[in-house]
Structure 1
């Protein structure tokens, strides 16, 4: 098996502004209601949107509800195992049928008690013989929405003419074909409402220029230096950065402090005392880690390593999926971030944090685990913080230094952000550090002093996002 990975043929250099038109990035997009309305009419109703995971709706009648701005969509498991999506609007007079995820054999309108089968057809209604135009039973049905899946993720689109999901996402499914996201466990699912336009996060997650300063804990295990990273832009607005899973040579932990990368090496049986200096520990240790993972994965029951390339075993790609998904993909799990606009206020948005990881050794619960015994020590995976936690007869996914979460599939935890008070357990999570910037940015982009962004080469993907958005607003679907 080829254990290397190469630049994808569809990838453009994501660090070369000559690949772009150079469209200006006006500040009205961050607070103007008219701009928000244009986005709804010309972009949100045209793209594929993530709604959830297939594991949420395993059995016939299980359904999820996805609300976005003006619309609400029901996605329900059919008796034959397929999925169908419908607008959440009664075929009688438009009443919303359901408000939250659940499971039932049919849908009943709370207004006039029309009943719909899982396939959307009207199957009963009161006074069926009182309709001069004929009974609605077997005649009326809910309006369908296109639904498709990729590796356990559920997507839908309101655009009947949109390309197939596989074409829309291309080449993302091919790039991550070895990761089997459907097998991962979503151990944390937190949603908060934030006082900032949704596009702040598109800008933020399309550059790593800020990470050395906003996320100072990360360079100890992920090399954030732009000259060692690979930047890629793909058709339809998707983009990513690939960074090496080793300590940065530029941003070093102070002498005497515990080094998270050393802990990772030790977890894989590597003698860190053999490295003569920091540079050797970073560069040779990174190569030794690849070799150790390649050699020991079966012994440690990391069966999800079997099909991963050498790069996938140790590197840290961060994938942006247009228009509103970011995925931090690593060998042991994935952090998926999804954000979307407030229904009425362009200076508010909702943000979802999904922490996901693989079961280890075939366990239904284990993930990010360094071994198979109880009372084991666990280390962080996708967050890359590297702090070990004790798991006393429990299995945990450690995404922050002090607050690991139990490994089990969870339901939505909608928090009141309250200036950060409502997410105290996430204060040392990398995503919270981004959330802290939102208030200052929301106020700053409204200033008379706002200027056209002065972008570095490593911020080229920021402009690419806005140029793709402009294409949608101009009716030029990429």
Structure 2
């Protein structure tokens, strides 16, 4: 049966487990040069102060975010391949803002306020493809660059000057095929916002990536809770016990790079120190079968050669498959970059698993003005060869509120893992409201990405 091994393993007492230097020791065993950016970037100056529980459900706090933070940050909207042709567009909603992100006849991606300049009706209810933007109420029409084409009864609008007739635009910038918008015309460029992320990902071919999985679902929790569910790995023992045989959870490395960028690196194809007695064969089998990110998902189809570790085998399996898929020589790639969970988070709501293939992207968006609901996206990126045309992105698979992620077959082994995370979140809100201390207490190291996220958020709310 192609499933994680069910052999019983004794659990070690959790109190004294965890060694954040483990990943660096694994890097020292690499047989190829190790990129300097995989070395630690120690955090400093965050402190250990508790946080008020109301940050996760207060309507007033949510309003402050909407008024002071969201209009001033770079927001991830879509992948470039989701709107490949002229007239292709997506509608991006955040609070009361609605934006049409559209590719023009000239190939340029622009973002327009989703509001008719006549009486304000939304021009587009959803994404799709059009050859113009036409108001459904009175027929005012704009071209794909936002210039007015048709003004009905123009004789009656002499006061509507030509300088007012084009659709207002929102800033749009891209990195490696990711499209971002910002309502703040004075904000620093996206490349500054991303910090060292483009440099760290320069060799991963993300500009040749294409979306092979895109699943979206409404989650009954605050958007920050959904983001933070993936900000640390030491929840694995309690939430994802079935992946302990190949996930070195409490030995993860955590790094910070200024206000907007943070990282967690969790070694894979290594048994968790929470378990005793896991064999290398089990590690190999379970990592292939249950991780959802490796080049193959059939653990039963592989036999671990004598003298080879599971980490070496899975890494070399991925090296061969990823090189074939991308048409790129990966002989220089580290085992870490070929399999480990190297997860970057960009403030406020964008996360990406770095590496040469199978990059998972997460995004949590507030669900209108409801502080206890969010829209959650999970994407998986593949690659195409440089000389081949870019495949179109798969359509978004919207799950109903009652459908689990495991009902989306394209997610494979990721679906059940996501469901385990999502099952915690409604109980998070309930428990936060029931708190008699009124505060959340965070770990100093393993939850530093959560603390950093709130430190940055507070800087916007303080202005």
TM-score by length of 2: 0.81
- Give the alignment partner of residue 120 of structure 2, picking from 84, 94, 105: 94
Give the 3-state SS of the residue equivalent to 1:225 in structure 2: helix
Aligned position for 1:467:
455
Whether contact under 8 Å (2:270, 2:310) holds in the other structure is no
Offset of residue 69 of structure 1: 1.6
Aligned position for 1:438:
425
Whether contact under 8 Å (1:178, 1:308) holds in the other structure is no
Structure of higher RCO (CA pairs closer than 8 Å, 6+ residues apart):
2
1:259 equivalent to 2:289? Answer no
Offset of residue 364 of structure 1: 7.8
Offset of residue 259 of structure 1: 2.5
Aligned position for 1:240:
263
Offset of residue 204 of structure 1: 2.0
- Give the alignment partner of residue 5 of structure 1, picking from 10, 24, 35: 35
Offset of residue 63 of structure 1: 1.5
1:35 equivalent to 2:84? Answer no
Q: Which moved more, 1:216-225 or 1:437-446?
A: 216-225
Aligned position for 1:121:
147
Aligned equivalents of 1:298 and 1:236: distance in 2?
33
* Structure 2: 5+ residue stretches without partners: 1-31, 289-293
Aligned position for 2:393:
409
Offset of residue 183 of structure 1: 2.4
Aligned equivalents of 2:192 and 2:405: distance in 1?
42
Offset of residue 474 of structure 1: 0.8
Aligned position for 2:361:
336
Aligned position for 2:79:
53
Aligned equivalents of 2:113 and 2:255: distance in 1?
36
Give the 3-state SS of the residue equivalent to 1:250 in structure 2: coil
1:188 equivalent to 2:213? Answer yes
Equivalent residue runs for 1:60-79 within 5 Å = 60-79=86-105
- Write the deviation string for residues 276-313 of structure 1: whole angstroms up to 9, x where unpaired: xxxxx6xx44246556766x569855534538631312
Whether contact under 8 Å (1:224, 1:243) holds in the other structure is yes
Aligned position for 2:245:
220
Aligned equivalents of 1:150 and 1:242: distance in 2?
22
Whether contact under 8 Å (1:12, 1:19) holds in the other structure is no
Aligned equivalents of 2:325 and 2:177: distance in 1?
23
Offset of residue 452 of structure 1: 2.9
- Give the alignment partner of residue 339 of structure 2, picking from 276, 290, 314: 314
Give the 3-state SS of the residue equivalent to 2:434 in structure 1: coil
Offset of residue 362 of structure 1: 8.0
Aligned equivalents of 1:96 and 1:340: distance in 2?
20
Aligned equivalents of 1:287 and 1:231: distance in 2?
23
Aligned position for 1:278:
none
Aligned equivalents of 2:65 and 2:113: distance in 1?
20
Offset of residue 194 of structure 1: 1.5
- Give the alignment partner of residue 304 of structure 2, picking from 272, 284, 288: 272
Give the 3-state SS of the residue equivalent to 2:419 in structure 1: helix
Whether contact under 8 Å (1:444, 1:450) holds in the other structure is no
Aligned equivalents of 1:195 and 1:351: distance in 2?
10
Whether contact under 8 Å (1:415, 1:422) holds in the other structure is no
Aligned position for 2:20:
none
Aligned CA distance change for structure 1 residues 255 and 471 (closer, same or farther; 3 Å)? closer
Aligned position for 1:389:
none
Whether contact under 8 Å (1:206, 1:239) holds in the other structure is no
Give the 3-state SS of the residue equivalent to 1:145 in structure 2: strand
Whether contact under 8 Å (1:232, 1:240) holds in the other structure is yes
Give the 3-state SS of the residue equivalent to 1:446 in structure 2: helix
Q: Which moved more, 1:61-70 or 1:34-43?
A: 61-70
Aligned equivalents of 2:387 and 2:243: distance in 1?
30
Whether contact under 8 Å (1:84, 1:145) holds in the other structure is yes
Aligned position for 1:396:
none
- Give the alignment partner of residue 458 of structure 1, picking from 446, 454, 457: 446
TM-score by length of 1: 0.78
- Give the alignment partner of residue 129 of structure 2, picking from 83, 98, 103: 103
Give the 3-state SS of the residue equivalent to 1:436 in structure 2: helix
Give the 3-state SS of the residue equivalent to 1:335 in structure 2: strand
Q: Moved runs in structure 1, 4+ residues, more than 6 A? A: 253-258, 265-271, 360-365
Whether contact under 8 Å (1:146, 1:156) holds in the other structure is yes
Offset of residue 442 of structure 1: 0.9
